Chains A and B, each alone.
Chain A
Amino acid sequence: MDIDIIEAFNIHKGLIATLDRANVDTDQIIPKQFLKSIKKTGFGQGLFFDWRYGLDGKPDPSFELNHEKFKGASVLIVRNNFGCGSSREHAVWAVQQDGYKVVIAPWVERNGTRIPGFADIFQNNAAKNGLLTIELSESEVGEIFQHIERSEGLEITVNLETQSLLVHTNPEISFHFDIDPSVKEHLIRGLDQIALAFEHENAIRDFEFSHNVQISIQQS
């Protein structure tokens, strides 16, 4: 049984905006006052609310995403460890509902270990909702940042099928990205994961038959 649950993703072309910060936590992406809703909609206006607006309630002109050249952007490029902190899925809903289809972040190397571009739970929540998260290297992200800084509005084409990005500079530059094959399939086909799990109903039932949840001992 295939139920389309999220908007299927294939190719997206749009304006790209920068947020030049690392470790952006989900408290910044969607502050607490917006978490009281019982709906899945209406979160776009809360995106980066405390950064977007000053204490006087007026838009803060020093905040990048308030700049005129990013108006209408649908791709966001940020620094490493985006979406850390709270598990609130409202953060992904807010990013999407403010118009973004793709977020790009760099993985970085620190003391010989690879630090991911995205925090675990955020990336997971993004995939469930059809928000594409793309990891590039630190130098690739740095290069895109530089091009955006020099331009008055730069467009980018994201092709999930071919796992490529085309930045519409003159001349154009392209990048390849890696993605978890299961996530890719999920995004392209837009399937309902719960329906997929129900296809394993017999396996779940068999498992439950022999698994003692009270103390987790397999009964003989």
Chain B
Amino acid sequence: MAETLFDKVWNKHVVKNISDDYVLLYIDRHLIHEVTSPQAFEGLRLAQRTVRKPELTFATMDHNVPTDERNVIRDPISKIQIDTLEKNCQDFGITLYDLNSEQQGIVHIIGPELGITLPGLTIVCGDSHTSTHGAFGSLAFGIGTSEVEHVLATQTLPQQKSKTFRVEFTGHLKPKTTSKDMILKLIGTIGTAGGTGYVLEYCGETVSALSMEARMTICNMSIEAGARAGMIAPDEATFDYIACSDRPFAPNGEALDQAIEYWKTLPSDEDAEFDQTITIDASELVPQITWGTNPGMVTDVTGQVPDPSSVPGYSRTDIEKALDYMGLTPGTPITDIKVDTVFIGSCTNGRIEDLRQAANFMKGRAIAPHVNVLVVPGSQHVRKQAEEEGLDKIFKEAGAEWRFAGCSMCLGMNPDQLQPGQRSASTSNRNFEGRQGKGGRTHLVSPEMAVAAAVEGHFVDIRNWT
């Protein structure tokens, strides 16, 4: 029977059928961080259990960490959480990339960098943006803390098979439109719950033409459409990414050749059937920007703040509440919205390619006087690479702050937060109320759009921006 990419990875990992609907699924890679793991380790200790395969679990510190300096954690509660992760990793023999490590960074950035993320694997993490790793053709999804404990103890998870949703993008992207615009467009089209219960598979000529970094941006935001996982079939771009540079946990030499032969069997069979499909014409796509309080409340940069009664899929009250929170008036052109803060970073857009594109737009320009700009590399490796390429100088000369790696203002668990009423252009993934700080207002955009907003002090249609 014809199989999808998802079917193939799934079938390879079924340990046993445990009921009519559930299987015990084997987990190849487990990523952990300081926020969602402490209670899992506490649970192990209380039940006198141990970690079954410590060599398959990798830890880093990202959510809580300061990005202005490395070694002083001023918040004592954050410090306890970070110290707890360190102790747990020591006690259970888990590899940890701590704040002194050159490999520290956002868990979803360092997984691919280190070769931990590979095609055909099952990967989990107590973080919903684990879907990022699906860009390699792995089945990767976010889990809760009880499941973190379950994976630590058993290296398996009881799972119900998801339905499949094929998302095809056709045509070539126009200049200055990006994979961020593709995923925002999809979420705007199917809604923030349109993918619930499905694994998305992104395909089509637009997707094939994207770099691995750009593919990760798409898979990263699958969860914002409700899908726990998003996948892209591995191809030459995937193999080149894995083979080209220093990825200590990736196979090399003969093992890599052998692996590639296997990975080439993973793409969905041509006649494979999906439970649902959608096709989006990427050649018509214009830069996207969110105006509301979830990632599905999104429009073209050429658009306007909508009328509360005219948004499909939402009640009038929902839109009124969102616009009230955002401090926006229906009918306002998007390009009239002013920002005071710009955040470039996160597991969505904190990779080297994102910083290169942002720097390319920033070069020779100055940030508007009333705007604060934070550039936060996704990992210390990205930071180092950017500095070698002189990108940090471009940002600093334009007036931006150049930081150390971490989740930073994407969720503001560390001191990088919006103040009440402040408005940001953000390359992150969630514009929920208070996400970047209580009372803060977030507009999600691509790195290129964020830079233009930083320079002009308001949103601009970057296609006409010179």
Contact = CB atoms under 8 A, between A and B. Distances in A.
A35 B64 CA distance: 10
B47 A194 contact: yes
A204 B154 contact: yes
A174 to B, nearest CB: 27
Chain A, interface residues (CB within 8 Å), range: 35 or more
Given A36-B77, A120-B226, A180-B21, A23 B294 contact: yes
A38 B81 contact: yes
Interface stretch (A67-75, A110-118, A144-152): A110-118
Contact of A119 (B120, B147, B193, B434): B193
B54 interface: no
Chain B, interface SS category: loop
B36 A197 contact: no
A198 interface: yes
A197 B423 CA distance: 48
A115 B153 CA distance: 34
Interface in B400-429: 411-413, 420
Contact of A194 (B128, B153, B434, B438): B153
A217 B259 contact: yes
A1 B300 CA distance: 57
Nearest to B227: A120
Contacts of B143: 87, 121, 124
Which of A23, A181, A214 has most chain B Cβ within 10 Å? A23
Given A128-B147, A203-B15, A215-B258, A84 B39 contact: no
Interface residues of B, number: 85
B203 to A, nearest CB: 20
Which of A28, A38, A39, A211 has most chain B Cβ within 10 Å? A38
B128 A204 contact: no
A27 B156 contact: no
Which of B38, B196, B420, B430 has most chain A Cβ within 10 Å? B196
Nearest to B249: A214
Contact of B144 (A87, A113, A211): A87
Which of B18, B29, B49 has most chain A Cβ within 10 Å? B18
Nearest to B155: A204
B251 interface: yes
A120 B269 CA distance: 27
A128 B251 contact: no
B433 A50 contact: yes
B228 A203 contact: no
Interface in A171-220: 180-182, 192-194, 196-198, 200, 203-204, 207-208, 211, 213-218
B438 A193 contact: no
A60 interface: no
A2 to B, nearest CB: 13
A168 interface: no
B56 to A, nearest CB: 6
Given A31-B434, A215-B118, A200 B194 contact: no
A163 to B, nearest CB: 17
A115 B193 CA distance: 6
A166 interface: no
Nearest to A129: B146
A88 B251 CA distance: 33
B314 A27 contact: no
A120 to B, nearest CB: 5
B226 A84 contact: yes
A27 B81 contact: no
27 contacts: A3-B47, A27-B432, A32-B411, A36-B77, A36-B81, A37-B81, A38-B38, A38-B84, A39-B39, A50-B434, A81-B192, A81-B193, A85-B223, A86-B411, A89-B36, A115-B194, A124-B147, A125-B144, A125-B145, A181-B20, A182-B21, A197-B24, A215-B118, A215-B259, A216-B118, A216-B262, A217-B258
Given A90-B145, A181-B20, 20 more contacts: A25-B294, A25-B430, A27-B411, A28-B432, A36-B80, A50-B434, A84-B193, A89-B36, A113-B194, A115-B196, A116-B197, A119-B193, A120-B228, A121-B228, A128-B144, A128-B146, A193-B158, A197-B24, A200-B15, A215-B120
List 6 tightest A-B contacts by C-beta distance, closest first. A38-B38, A89-B144, A125-B144, A128-B146, A215-B259, A87-B142
